[in-house]
Structures are given as C-alpha cells and as structure tokens.
Amino acid sequence: MMQKPRLTKRHRIAVDAMGGDHAPGEIVFGALDAATSFDVDILLVGQEARIAAELTKHAGSIPSNIEIVDAAEVVEMCDPPITPLRRKRNSSIRIAANLVGEGRAGAFVSAGNTGATWTSARAVLGMVEGVDRPALAALVPSLTPQGFTVLLDVGANVDARPHHLREFAVMGHFYAQMVFGLERPRLGLMSIGEEEGKGNDLTKESFAVLAETGLNFIGNAEGRDVYNGNADVVVCDGFVGNCVLKASEALGEMIKQTLSAEFKKNPFRMLGGLLSGSALAGMKKKMDYTEYGGAPLLGVNGGCIVCHGRSNGKAIRNAIRVAAEFVEHDVNGKIRTKISELHSQERAEGLASGDQPAGQRS
C-alpha cells in the first residue's frame, strides 16, 4: 500500500541534492528513480557541476522532468540550525525552501542537517494559518492493519502545551488519512496508564481538549500502543516522542546485532540463518525506514519532508513520492480548515462563558 503513488495531478518537488551522508550520489540516484517512476517534476538543488556529473553517471540523458537549480553553498551536519538563514543563504537547503516559498515547488525534501531544514522551512514558509508550532511526524512500523503508526511530535518542539498537542492531533489525523487511506484514524494521547485521570500535568489537561476535537480520539495510549496496533496516530510532546523513537531505533539495531552474533555461533545456526534469510529480510523490510522515505514537518505552510541522514536512493525516491502525495492531498489546506473550525468553536464557547479562548494563548 505504501508503494503506490496516488497522484491525479503533476506536482513539482524540490530536492536538496547536497544533504545527507551519501550526497550528492544517492540523492541524485533516488531523484532519477522517482522521475522515471512517478508523474512528478523534480528540481535538484545544489552545486550544479556535481549534480550534472552524477546525473550523467547514472543516466544516458537527463530526463525532461528533472531540472538543476544551482546552490553554491552546502550546510554541513555540524553547522548550527540558523546557518541557512544567516551565513549560508545560498545553501541548497535554503534555496530548496525558497522554491517552495516562491510557489515554484509544492514541497521540498532534504536528508541534510535536520535543525537547519526545520529552521529554514519555518522561517521561509511560515506556518499554516492558525497553527502555532510545527511537528515532526514519524511513521513507525506497528501491528496496525496498515503496518504503521504515525507518532508525533518526534522532536521539533520541547515543552508543549495542551493546545499544541491539539494541533499535533489535527495534523497527525490528516497525515494519517493521506498515508494510510483511513477515513477516521484512531488517535491516542501518549500517557502512562489508560484511564483519563492518569498521566502528567500536560496529558491530564490535554485529554479533555482532544476529546472535544471531533477527531476519532480513543483516549490515553501507553508506550506500547505505539507498536501494538491499538492506534493509528499517537500524539505526544517532542521530547517524549524523540526519546521513544530513538530508543526504538537503537533497540531494533541491538536485536539485529544480537541475532547476527547468535547465528554465527555454530554451523547449524549458520545454515539455519541462511535458510531463514528471507524471513529476516521480510522483517527487515517491514522495519525499514527507507520504505516510507521521510518524516514530514507538519504545520509549515508548504511541504517539507525530512529524511534520515543516512538515506539511500530508495529512501529519497520514496520521500519524493510522499512529498507529491502531500501536495496532491492538500494536507495543509485540510489542517487550516480544521484548526480554524476549532478556534471558531472555542471563541463561541469563550463568548458564552466569558473566558479567553485557548487558541489565543501562546
């Protein structure tokens, strides 16, 4: 299901060709793959000569739906997030963001410096009207029928307030609609303990706020509900989401290493390992982040897909597909409408009760 692009129109996607551990080679390779697989136009942003050389290496002729946009500078992984706004305004990340800001592309994709990507997206694109803070949404493998659960925020913010979690819920809802094709994705609030009264100050306050959104709110989710298939979307503040996501990645890696070491212990096990190789590969494919390409930074006014620094061509290809679907489904338009409805509802209730509407607090 994750592999089929559902595009009815042609979209233009900007790709930061210089970002990531394997740039520009794998990025250009992935873009070429996407250009021949999907009905998209791709703007490859970066140092023109290097990109052209990579293109020629992989393709006899450059496909007509790929265009190079020159960007002299490169943001390094160690550069501070503010770099594309101050020191390197001609960097590929900044220019990719500019292309979206100017309406020349619907979304941009980067596997480069994550902080610099967020900062550029937020500063150049601004926020979707009514949204206070962006959130990074990760697709994690799970026991849901679709095989994945959306977890957000996984680190764009720390120290959220209840109305931020409400924004994350709305954004996660429409993103899950898009990627899973679900009408009413089940939405859980990450907490400790399932009952309404359980959790910390933030989740206790947020429970009532989420219950009033009209979304398919199923109540508190525990850490286990990220994986056990009980929820399609789990919302939490970026600190908790980041800790859970990074711990999970490391646990997966540890299990892989442990299994691999166990398989090498004797010849029977080695033979077993060979025979069961396809089973392990099947599991690996299911757990493989490159299948779903990247995590969107939701809430910014334009598409921004953040890829893992170690992305290969396949991850980039899939991130471009996700970016095109994001534009196709007008996820931002849906978020804007829903948030506006919630604010109107709140204002009406506020006028009735004489309270300050929560949407006006910051």
Locus of tokens 């607090």: 361
Cis check: omega of the bond before 355, within 30 degrees of 0? no
Our finding on whether 219 is near its own copies (CB under 8 A) is no
- CA 355 to chain CA centroid, Å, is 36
Q: Which of 228, 337, 340, 345 binds its own copies (CB under 8 A)?
A: 228
Q: Which of 72, 77, 211, 274 binds its own copies (CB under 8 A)?
A: 274
Q: What is the DSSP letter of 121?
A: I
Q: Which range binds its own copies by CB under 8 A, 66-74, 141-149, 315-323, 348-356?
A: 141-149
Shortest distance in whole angstroms from residue 76 CB to its own copies:
16
Q: Which is nearer to its own copies, 63 or 263 (CB)?
A: 263
Our finding on whether 1 is near its own copies (CB under 8 A) is no
Copy the structure tokens of residue 283.
């599991």
Number of residues that bind its own copies (CB under 8 A): 61
Distance, in Å, from the CA atom of 225 to the CA atom of 216, rounded to the nearest integer, reads: 15
Our finding on whether 142 is near its own copies (CB under 8 A) is yes
Distance, in Å, from the CA atom of 189 to the CA atom of 117, rounded to the nearest integer, reads: 27
Q: Which of 243, 310, 348, 355 binds its own copies (CB under 8 A)?
A: 243
Q: Is there a contact between 291 and 285 (Cβ–Cβ < 8 Å)? A: yes
Q: Helix, strand or coil for residue 335? A: helix
Q: Which range binds its own copies by CB under 8 A, 59-67, 265-273, 312-320, 335-343?
A: 265-273
Our finding on whether 250 is near its own copies (CB under 8 A) is yes
Q: Which is nearer to its own copies, 2 or 280 (CB)?
A: 280
User: Which among 124, 119, 173 has a CA at the least distance from the CA of 301?
Assistant: 124
How many CB atoms lie under 10 A from the CB of residue 214?
12
Our finding on whether 348 is near its own copies (CB under 8 A) is no
Q: Which is nearer to its own copies, 49 or 281 (CB)?
A: 281
Q: Is there a contact between 173 and 322 (Cβ–Cβ < 8 Å)? A: no
Q: Which of 20, 30, 238, 303 binds its own copies (CB under 8 A)?
A: 238
Q: Which is nearer to its own copies, 37 or 228 (CB)?
A: 228
Q: Helix, strand or coil for residue 333? A: helix
Copy the structure tokens of residue 136.
């990074």
User: Which among 333, 337, 327 has a CA at the least distance from the CA of 6?
Assistant: 327
Distance, in Å, from the CA atom of 2 to the CA atom of 127, rounded to the nearest integer, reads: 27
Distance, in Å, from the CA atom of 276 to the CA atom of 271, rounded to the nearest integer, reads: 8
Site for its own copies in 286-315 (CB under 8 A): 286-287
Q: Which is nearer to its own copies, 263 or 350 (CB)?
A: 263
Shortest distance in whole angstroms from residue 250 CB to its own copies:
4
Shortest distance in whole angstroms from residue 263 CB to its own copies:
5
Q: Where are the alpha helices (DSSP H) in 195-312?
A: 201-211, 238-263, 267-275, 277-287
Which x/- pattern, by CB under 8 A, does the window 148-187 give for its own copies? -------x--xx----------------------------
Our finding on whether 280 is near its own copies (CB under 8 A) is yes
Binding site for its own copies (CB under 8 A): 141-143, 155, 158-159, 190-192, 199-201, 203, 222-228, 236-240, 242-255, 257-259, 262-263, 265, 268-269, 271-280, 282-283, 286-287
